[in-house]
A and B are shown apart, each in its own frame.
Chain A
Amino acid sequence: MSLLHFVVLAPFIMAIFMPFFYYKFRSVHTGWFLLPLPLILFIYIATYIPINGGGLEPVEHTVPWVPSLGINFSVYLDGLSLLFGLLITGIGTLVVLYSIFYIKNKVDEPLNNFYVYLLMFMGAMLGVVFSDNLIVLYVFWELTSLSSALLIAYWFHKEKSRYGAQKSMLITVSGGFAMLAGFSLLYVIAGSTFSIREIIAQADVVVQDPLILPAMLLILLGAFTKSAQFPFHIWLPDAMEAPTPVSAYLHSATMVKAGIYLVARMTPVFGLTVEWFWIVLIFGLVTLTWGSISAVRQTDLKGILAFSTVSQLGLIMSLLGMGSAALHFDYVETEAIYYTAIMAAVFHLINHATFKGALFMVVGIIDHETGTRDVRKLGGLMAIMPITFTVSLIGLAAMAGLPPFNGFLSKELFFTASLNVASLDIFNLETLGFFIPVVAWIASVFTFVYSMMIFTRTFTGEFKPENYKEDVHEAPIGLLISPIILASLVIIFGLFPNILAYTLIEPTMQSILPGLTSVGEQFYVNIYHWHGINTELLMTIAVVLIGLAIALNLKKWQESYFFQRERDPLNAVYDLGLDQLVVQAQNVTNMQMTGRLRDYLLYMAVFISGIMLWTFFRYDAFAIDFSNELAVPFYVILVVAALLASTLALPFISHRITNIVLLGVVGFLIALLFVIFRAPDLALTQLLVETVMVVLFLLTYRHLPEITKEAKNIWSTSMKAIVSAAVGGAVILTGLSVHALNQGTDITPISDYFIENSKTLAGGYNMVNVILVDFRGLDTLLEVLVLAIAALGVVTLIKHKMKEGEDV
């Protein structure tokens, strides 16, 4: 275990102590106890930043977990995981600080739950970005989905919270399952290894495999659901029911970027295929456009930000798609054309976390102070909340892509990358490439429009006190600290972007595009504002002009049909699917679950005899050999005859007590057979079980109706006769064939092993018991568990009877 392992595990360990802090120090806000942890982790991870600009030496530590299956808890720190680790802990610190002031320490506020979930998320997310093993990554990945759902449903008394939590859970977890399947395929393709390092090392071979396409699609499904890419983005707007610190943390800065992380992590492998380029690029662009257009028609501030996040995630995704083309070229320092996209993606990832985090916190403040997030009610807050206003102005300007903020720089780089990629001469880009900059430009216009919309409708206009339940004033300083820090970062990164260049961006590019530069060589990263008058600048100017024109005329458009549909139309598909899932599942269940015991027995009998007979036919295993049978003693024949007689008599007796007694006779005769064949343990068990069973039968007897003559149905009667005959036939055939097979071959029976070893290995002479408690102890344990569950089921069914019309 290295320190890096503890970085991942620390939040989980801390989570154990949260309830203690909550109950012991009830008057102190629980968040204060938690606050130091992400800060310390942030500082620790920050020590890995290469400050002298010499590149980052990756660190790897491995702890075996299930080595026989290739599953090891390996932590791996390179540029990409360093960047994400800093984001998770850095934004985490600010969010925890913010949440201390946002969620009040009321008597019935379950703060312990909140912080346990938050810590669980933090640990899981760190686990995702630091794991080198795909299975470990998957486990942490699902944990982030789980903790996200728990946090969305934190105010679970609200119906919408529960709906949003369920939706996010269903969508992200089903994507996660697909991803697990993809990982398994990758394991097969890459020759039994789950290590990302090793898979990347043999990427050239891996992409030749015919299974690479399904593996890629499945893994992308996981990434796209997590990162809210079209058409899976519908869960993100509904996730906004979570408390705002959660929205700022999970649903804009970190968790939704897990998909981005995975795509970036997998680029060295899948980026070598054409499909990857087109799929990631097109999904990214569609999401970018759809998100920005949908954002314009929202009326809830958090709704706007949610769709804006969707759109920005699409932007980063499309940049990663474009950037994968760089893997097809050799690195030349002067030709930044190929890798600009990756640089832009990494840079925008950082920028988005800063400005969107600030904006979410600001919206939280507005919600907190005014009691509403509806832009139709808000207005004129500029004078009342000056600090909040300043922070949001910075954030909005960065989001809209205006200089001198960091958003402008990454937006310019995005335009450059899209222009570059359109001019490449691979992948049919010479014919299809032109649409990429066009789409990018259109989406940017809408991004500008919704940024303007938040600005004008919240801060300008007329302040109407009658719209608010509370007395509106500036937020307390505690709430403002975190957004102010983030806004300062927006400005700092905007003015001095190159402090990030060789500390974070270049190492990250190295991990997304490994092997492009020779050893010791570095990508050339230099981000600056003024490039002269070029296409990108003209595009930005056009965005601003047209965006302004649209934003100023937005009032007129709001009457149109398009703006009346606030909810995403894709939600209808999801809702219908969910309803139908329940209905169809019920139909399928009702088809087989008739509620009649005889039907279930029929299923079992048909299945068992069917599979047995099929196996016999398949392997041509019929062998009947009477040649050297043993002489059967007379008393055995007598016992068997009695057994047969009592069994055959059963169907013809219509009196229940007689039936029960007769069944008991059958059981005792079988016990006698066990005695004859020298199986004392079996005989004892059989006798005791029979005794207990007869008592049970007699007890239930009074609940059963008289046996009535049923109307004879020739079909069902002959059906039952056939099935009974088949079961009997299959059993006899198996017995005879096994007997015949035993004669001619020298297969040693499995019992020999137990006979030899039960004394030496387990210290017991009674083989049956030794098998039960030692050799097959787990079987026994689980059988007993089944017994216990069955007994509890009986108790529940009898003691808690359902009333009329009640359902489970």
Chain B
Amino acid sequence: MEKILLSGFLLVVLPFLAFLIIVTFTKRFKMLSALISITAIFISFILSIIILVWQLKDPSSFLKYDIPWLYIGNLKMNIGIIINSLTAIMLLVVTTVSLLVQIYSISYMKGDEGFSKFFGFISLFSFSMLGIVISNNLLQLYIFWELVGLCSYLLIGFWYFKPEAADAGKKAFVVTRFGDFGFLIGILIISYLSGTFDILEIENFVKNGTLSDKMLLIVVILLFCGAIGKSGQFPLHVWLPDAMEGPTPVSALIHAATMVAAGVFMVARLFPIFSASPDAMLFIAYLGAFTALFSATIALTQDDIKRVLAYSTLSQLGYMMLALGSGGYVAGMFHLYTHAFFKALLFLCAGSVIHAIHSNNIWQMGGLHKKMPVTSITFFIAALAISGIYPLSGFFSKDEIFLSILYSGNKLLYYSAMFTAFLTAFYMFRLYFVTFSGKPKEEKNVHESPLVMTVPLIILALLSIFSGFIGIPDIKFSIHKFLFIEHLKEAHFDFKVALTSNIIALSGILLAYLIYGLKIINADNLKQKSGIIYNILKNKYYIDEFYMFLIKNIYYTSTEAIKWFDRHIVDGAVNLVAFLCRWTGGKLKLTITGRVQNYAMYIVLGVILIILAIYVYQPDVMNIVRR
């Protein structure tokens, strides 16, 4: 017991120690920095396996430990650990992907000026992300939530001398801050109402039903705002595509596999609270479904390999939200878990290609299969997995999602999810065929990446194939049994659903093959025929432009107005007071003439005034004087 808690604690702290050591001591020794960082995450990885094994013995048990951080009166804030099945599975995902990405980065970041800094930041990120995973209270969750945001900011802007990267980093931070604003208020309200930050205690509080439905709805939606920002749900999705300015391993780790999934994880962690409000759940489901469809349509038209993947990430995150919103707790987490592997793989493959070609534009690629066989095959596997083809991992998790939507009985969401699956298969294979099939575009000296890069690819490819098998119903270690929570309606395997989804995905792949593989259907013709629709998609529904318009016209104007107001009205009033003092002083000084006659006159006038005043107001006094 204590050993498990201790390993949970160590597993989080180790990457932080690595960060400290790298930043303070080993910045100059590049390989040593990488080694320290990788060793730390490797130990964390081992520890997370230990925790998983322990948890497998009794999935429903949990461990909890608190360290006092800040006590004021009856306000208690702790830094604490919770280890349960959800923690265990998420720890494994984070440490695995982080480990592989770091190994891959040794080669990818080779020769970069900030090599050590990169590993320092990645370690800091791993620390913060693991911190989210083990949090047992909302405040701590928020703390690490902000810290991963910081790491994301630092790593997107890693090549800070590129203006686009600097812009993207800032955008990511500020946009997610909008979500965090809601999140923080949600935390303030719920902790005020329940008198605690502890998640389990809040769950009990919500279960007791003292909250009105309306209040609960408000709180849940506010908490969900955090997830909207971090997991790039509409309308705060705009930062994620731009975040691709960061180094590709960063995109793979932070902006595909782990951090962006933090929102999904948060909803899963607070699932008993969220599911207490059916209206909020419905909202989440609809928003997820919309984001999934919406981003998939944009992904159809993008030319930058990483941006296509970014939109696909948004779309898949939408799926997870949709699943959670439909009550599919297991489905959402299951998809997070499989998605982490195949999406990290897709990004790392993209990185491998970019590393070779030195361009992100897919139209400058082509025919890479022969020159980069490992990258090509692993990419192909990942693309099949994300499309949900049997028996790869994506199939199992997506199937679970479809089932849970079907089970919730909402046909509209079901069809929309199916249609999104079609689009997913299509754009993924558009990407695959354009990049890897056909004839090479330029006679560049392109060759396969070194082993340090391809081995992580292969491992991730294996995970993308096999990691889904825990979703087979009724096996001993099935994810259903592992992530079990009470009162959850279970969806059961349905052959029809599985068959439909596969046919849909295959038809998407086929269409992509016809257009981009065999080129039977001319892509340019399609473009022209679809006209406006194509332009709208290509320009991402003009949402960025719309936001810029708002910022420029409302925000900038109001800040300028305030500047003007402060300078001219507030300060004007201050200066006016000063001016009036000086002005009256200037006038009054004229009375000081230096002539005795004048002064004598003032005295006489004064005396007359006084007498007059007395005469008017106090006639009695005059009588006394006369007597």
Q: Tell whether A and B belong to one assembly.
A: no
